[in-house]
Amino acid sequence: MLREFQRTLLHLRRSEAVCFDAEPLLQTVGKHLDLQFPAEQQNDTKEFMDKLLDRLELELSDTTALDVVKKAFGATTAEIKVSGLG
């Protein structure tokens, strides 16, 4: 999954094309992330990013590139449950 994600980011950064075929990325994501819906359908953005970053962290855990990803995204996530709303 890491390679397909890299390919996508490189294309978006370097290409002057007005469109991008995301099918290879969607197929790869569909195989590796446990999303609520198929990857080519609408999914919750937070859920998608959490699972994507978790997967990237897993794939990069034994490399020096993990620090690069943490620096690039530079954040941590937290979930807060609030009762009584509603």
pLDDT band at residue 74 under the 50/70/90 scheme: low
Nearest to 32 by CA among 47, 52, 50: 52
Is 9 inside a domain boundary?
Answer: yes
Return d(Cα 22, Cα 10) in angstroms, integer.
13
Q: Indicate the number of domains in the chain.
A: 1
Query: What is the model's pLDDT at position 61?
Result: 80
Q: Which domain holds residue 47?
A: 2-67
Residues, the chain, total? 86
| Per-residue confidence band for 76, with pLDDT thresholds at 50, 70 and 90 | low
Please say whether the beta carbons of 18 and 11 come within 8 A.
no
Average confidence (pLDDT) over 35-41: 73
Q: Is the pLDDT of residue 20 over 70?
A: yes
